[in-house]
Chain A
Amino acid sequence: MPVAAPPVPEVNPLREGLEQERVPEASCLVIFGASGDLTHRKLLPALYSLTHDGLLPAGLTIVGFSRPDYTDDAFRAEIKEACNKYSRTRPVDDAIWENFAKGLFYVKGEFGEAESYVRLKQRLEECDRTRGTGGRRLYYLAVPPAFFPVISDILGSQGMVTDPEKGGPYTRVIIEKPFGHDLASAKELNRVAVTTFRERQVFRIDHYLGKETVQNLLVLRFANGIFEPFWNRQYIDHVQFTVAESIGVEGRGGYFDSAGITRDIVQNHMLQLVSLVAMEPPVAFEADAIRDEKVKVIRALRSLPVERQTEFVVRGQYGEGSALGEKAVGYRNEPSVPPESRTETFVAIKAFVDNWRWADVPFYIRAGKRMPKRVTDISIHFRPAPNPLFRRVPGVRVQPNILAIRIQPDEGISLKFDSKVPGPAVRSAPVTMEFRYATSFGGEPPEAYERLLLETMLGDSTLFARRDEVEAAWAWLDPLLAAWAGDGEPALYPAGTWGPPEADLLLERDGRRWRRP
């Protein structure tokens, strides 16, 4: 009687206990838009750093696909230069590079031309034969969203996409934001995606989710016993989110003017932060369990009353001013921006998550360009302690405790509380307990793209936005964006300030103020 062969272990047992216990199987990663900025500054430097750290399989093959004419060697030379400039593990180690470069190829092609895909397919099949990639495919669409339907159609018609329901090697597609321009376009994009791919093959990158500090939100909340009991309307007065950039539109004037800060930052990054702060504990540390809870938060966001929007929303646009000591032109004088543009470069929103945990707790959200500094910060403002004990003590002013989570830069967490000032008199002053990643753990954390690319290869979609999350976010913002399209002007603020005075008023009306991050 024949003896059955032992089952193939799902994971390599020799990886157990090593820093990365799971290494993805060798695959072909095709980057559409390989000549672009994202590929040079982020994607290939991230892939090189992963290789440097031994986190990728030997056979990983990267094929750049775009319009300019490069030979494989010319493409490699250009990418080496980019890795030397931008990779976390720079300068490039020649021995590691040499091996990495052996898996780096280039195919010249037009996104809308089927013949180009025939050449691409031939190259991929050749890699299957020589590099053990086994028909596994990752398509990274580092291209404007308009190309997504075209590329996905041709990939499908050329037989370059497998169906996970039928087994066999995987095909995954990675798409970059913006995931649409409004709800209708997002739905259309998602519809197009699922005509060629199944939802679980689609990985929507929001690079904020690859940041260590954003992932730490889950650990902070659910791995510590002290925070969760207080994480609700009984103890929290309000929550503030700030995503501030000191730069202007930096050569992206054309794109930015058609989008605005709400589409560019709030619809994706900020609502991801809101959902991570407000979500209920997931039933498991698994992609869908986590995303199920996140989407519930976005769906629970109270509709913004468009007719009374000034009570809830402030939109602004930067005028002339100075940024980091340099003179800065106003938004309407930026290259490629129409002089009459009404696009918002700043937005502040007072939002409510209408569920049991957060009823009537304001979530103040603000995002802006040309602010005094680049910072992303979340602060949880606790309700003040009842004050009868110190009411008649003149030196004691009871102040709310604040838990501040700094996403970037100088990542860390601080807790502000009152302490007695040493001396015979009873006086209090606020002090902070600080945790800083750099102080406690040293070194540089991996780049967000490194983590996200690795997770895609491993097929784990926890850190990617799901279709329903994207659509729910658009559904919340759509009425506001539609109203803005109709009329009204953004309030002007000088470059280098924290936004228009109306943004301060938004909180002052509630007896609160923005925390200076």
Chain B
Amino acid sequence: MSEAGREGGRGIMPSEDLRVDVGAIERSLSEIWRNQNRDEAVTRAALWNVIAHTCTSDEHANAAEVLCEASASVPQRTVIIRSDPRAKAELTSWIGVNCHPINGDKQVCSEEIAIIAGGELVHRVPPLMNSLLIPDMPVAVWWVGDLPHEDEAYVHAMLDPADRLIIDSAAFDSPADLALLTKIAEQTTTAPADLNWVRLEEWRLAAASIFDAREMRPRLQSVRRIRIVATASSDAPPFGENVGALYFAAWLSVQGGLTAATTDYQFERRLHTRGGGIAFVEISFEDGTSATIRRDRERSVLTSAIDGVERTPEAVTRSLLNRPHELISRQLKQPEADRMLVKSLPAAAQIATRMVR
């Protein structure tokens, strides 16, 4: 359990995670609730089952902290799995509770279960995970790190009960990961969600603001070039750093009805210690005019301007908070699959293939 959760739960719930038998997880959680201080106003709540799949202790610790913070706005049963087939054979579990204050002295608490599996015992994780899900609540699997496209069967086993798969394509190492995500979207009942796509929301809002004016809407179909400048951590950045720009180009094309035959895609890199973010977009129209979106870091906004259209004032879009727990929370607050991501994925995979060629 993270410090944030401890702070909220001090004096109400056990101050340290409890190691418990794998077979006694539910019973032990019930005991925590039975033993709580009756004088404190505590509510146990869950809107989701969230399973974080991790491979290393660093990923595990990070996922625990992120989900603890996310549970403040989206109460959930959290199951964090650290699964490493190369580690010694073991299957151990811990339980804890993340509490957050609401309305003064009341607290809302979410349960957290940690499972560490190593060696051949990793195969016992999917059925164990299934037994720990709260009935009638949707299931999200957050796959921390790269999606192992080389072990598709394992991915599918973990996703069996999942309504939603949350990944961060910024960690992808190959276009094959994007292809696997597309396949999951097309062939399974698990809806994909990508934190990298959620980061684009402010850029999508800013782009949309350009076409809010009725007279601008027909011009969407006359886009001839999309130029995207993104930051890169090196001259040959990992594939994941390109995905944000790919998504943006794919989305604009799909929604604008643009085709590869009439649209020129230009991707440019600007070296920056923190790679992978879009820094500037230029949308050029058939008549030679263009619209631009640029990030103004100092003012924490994105500004959109249209060349040649004096009557529409500059639009300012607030930069959204993009810390991991905020991205996860925004995802979990969506009751349904993100249909825009699902629509854009195949186009992004296609543009990626063209880039590789």
Contacts and interface: CB of A to CB of B under 8 A. Distances in A.
Contacts of B43: 434, 436, 439
B318 A96 contact: yes
Contact of B220 (A5, A13, A18, A96): A13
B73 A443 contact: yes
B45 A57 contact: no
Interface residues of B, number: 45
The interface centre, meaning the residue of B47, B75, B217, B299 with most chain A CB atoms within 10 A of its CB, is B217
Secondary structure class of chain B's binding surface, majority of residues: mixed
Interface in B324-345: 333, 338-340
Which of under 10, 10 to 19, 20 to 34, or 35 or more describes the interface residues of A? 35 or more
B317 A54 contact: yes
A12 B313 contact: no
A25 interface: yes
A439 B74 CA distance: 8
Contacts of A9: 217, 220
B184 interface: no
The interface centre, meaning the residue of B208, B301, B312 with most chain A CB atoms within 10 A of its CB, is B208
Interface stretch (B10-18, B58-66, B84-92, B199-207): B199-207
A58 B75 contact: no
A57 B213 contact: yes
Contact of B340 (A5, A17, A26): A17
Nearest to B44: A439
Contact of B209 (A16, A58, A439): A58
A95 B300 contact: yes
Contact of B300 (A16, A93, A442): A93
Nearest to A96: B318
A23 interface: yes
Nearest to A94: B299
A400 interface: no
B209 A26 contact: no
A140 to B, nearest CB: 21
B46 to A, nearest CB: 9
A252 interface: no
A95 B208 contact: no
Contacts of B213: 25-26, 57, 59, 132
A41 interface: no
B116 interface: no
Contacts of B211: 12-14
B286 to A, nearest CB: 13
Interface in A37-65: 52-54, 57-59
Interface in A128-158: 129-132, 134
A5 B218 contact: yes
The interface centre, meaning the residue of A14, A96, A438, A439 with most chain B CB atoms within 10 A of its CB, is A14
Interface in B69-103: 72-75, 102-103
B312 A13 contact: no
A13 B212 CA distance: 9
Contacts of B257: 13
B108 interface: yes
Given A52-B318, A436-B43, A440-B47, A14 B74 contact: no
B314 interface: yes
Interface in A1-30: 5-6, 8-9, 12-18, 23, 25-26
Nearest to A5: B218
B189 interface: no
Nearest to A12: B211
B208 A12 contact: yes
Contact of A103 (B208, B313, B339): B313
A215 interface: no
A163 interface: no
Contacts of A5: 218
Interface string B240-262: 00000000000010011100000
B315 interface: yes
A12 B304 CA distance: 16
Contacts of B296: 95
Nearest to B257: A13
Interface of B: 43, 45, 47, 72-75, 102-103, 108, 201, 204-205, 207-209, 211-214, 217-218, 220-221, 252, 255-257, 296, 299-301, 304, 311-318, 333, 338-340
6 contacts: A9-B217, A58-B304, A93-B300, A99-B314, A131-B311, A131-B313
